[in-house]
Amino acid sequence: MPLQPNHITKFLKNETETKFKSELIDLLNKRIRFLCFEECERDRIVCTLTPLCSKRFLLKLRIKNDLKIEDLPKFCYSVHKGVIERDFRNKRVVYKPNDAFLYLIDFLDIFFHGDYRKLNKFMSFRNWEESIKIFDDRIQNRNENFKYLLTSNFFIFKFEQNVHIIFINEKYVLCNANRENITDLELLIGICRIFAEEYFPEINLKFVPSKNVEITVMVPYDVLSKVIDNPSEEFNSKADEYFWNIFWEDLNTLTNYCEEIHLQMDKNQNLEITLSISLLTNNYSDDGKRVPLRFRDLRLILNFITQIYTDYFIVWV
């Protein structure tokens, strides 16, 4: 049997001789460099249509490790930027650029073209007041539709269903966040807040520092009291169908991603559903460790809250 990738992984994990590991990593690094700058860049058709690394993840490797634009394969990065821009403009793309990383100035050029040089200058000096003036002007006077939220270390943007995150200190941007892990509670509460503002503004959102985020949504007694008592009877409403057939399946799914789920009746017999969300899910990896929460996992949770709020709470209010 030839050498397999898992053999290399085990070797790097278990080998005690530092020199051997260093040589192996150096070989991998040379291979990566040749793949990017020689094999892939040399054939622009291949680089454009079928890059030799899946969805250009080797650009992510470089950008997240603080390499500069001159250290990247330039044509590959230009195609990468173009794919993100075409997707933003709702044009056909070879692949959906989920979890795509860009340098800050290139993100601003795509999403805020016309103001990107000013924005890059303001953000470089952390002049948030002037930056926000530009964003507000584009929303109020130029008919642009997006949401934003500034935290201490992140600038979060939401264009329709797509979330983009500026990592302020690192000066790079995660575009179309999906499968990436959420690694900071500040980012977790920020995304919850930007979704809450748009979809469930009256819902109780609680941030427990260094621990989790708690979101409590209510199903009013007036709604619950109209749900039929016997599931064998014919369903008369959307609520009958949902609370007998779907609600418990939804909760069961969410137990995989929420730290805890609490259900209780308040003094007015309204059903309160409290979801506690941390940076770790209740799923486990092969080595027995809890799997980190991803952006797509959080979206499942927020979609559930939005549905309860829209279909059963706001109608009652």
> pLDDT averaged over the chain?
96
Interval 180-226: pLDDT, tens: 999 999 999 999 999 999 999 999 899 999 999 999 999 999 999 99
Reported as type and span, the H/E element at residue 5 is helix 5-14
pLDDT value for 315: 58
For residues 74 and 72, what is the distance between their CA atoms, to the nearest angstrom? 6
Quick one: 120 exposed, middle or buried, by C-beta within 10 A (0-12, 13-18, 19+)?
A: buried
Give 249-291 pLDDT, tens digit per residue. 999 999 999 999 999 999 999 999 999 999 999 999 988 999 9
Residue with tokens 């500034």: 150
Q: Which positions of the chain have pLDDT values less than 50?
A: 317
Cα separation, 139 vs 135, whole angstroms? 6
Distance CA 16, CA 145 (A): 55
The share of the chain scoring above pLDDT 70, in percent, equals: 99
Pick the closest to residue 297 from 195, 213, 180 (CA basis): 180
| DSSP secondary structure of 29-69 | HHHHHHIIIIIIHH-HHHHHHS-SSGGGHHHHHHHHTT--G
Return the closest-CA partner of residue 77 out of 98, 50, 48.
48
| Nearest residue to 195 via CA among 219, 163, 166, 218 | 163
The amino acid at 141: N
Per DSSP, the three-state class of 164 is strand
